[in-house]
Amino acid sequence: MNIAIWHCYHYGQFDTYVMLAETEELLEAKVREAIADGWYPDTDGPMPEDFGDLMEKYQEVSGDFCYFGDWGFTVIDAALCDPVQEKD
């Protein structure tokens, strides 16, 4: 059985991190949530509802310092994975 892991990178002014999700829709929701945490409606204006418009506005607001990129997914053969065990 294969599973897909959706991913993108957030390239920030001081750090870079990867975001992971089970579906493209969930990844977009995580990105929206990450943007909302630092969004200031008084200066940035309202957050666009459309995801494409949000990405454009985020780039405009954050300038060249922060952006989301390298969107895609990776297919993993679950048969090659070790079972997860809970840690005590």
| pLDDT of 21 | 96
Q: Where are the domains of the chain?
A: 2-79
Q: Going residue by residue through the chain (88 aa), what tens digit of pLDDT does each one get?
A: 788 999 999 998 889 999 999 999 999 999 999 999 989 999 999 999 999 999 999 999 988 788 999 999 999 888 877 777 777 6
Angle at 23 between CA 41 and CA 7, to 5 degrees: 75
Task: Give all strands of the β-sheet with 67-77 in edge-to-edge order.
Answer: 16-21, 2-11, 67-77
- pLDDT score at 87: 74
Q: How far is CA 46 from CA 39, 40, 54, in A?
A: 9, 8, 10
pLDDT at 28: 97
Say what the pLDDT of residue 88 is: 66
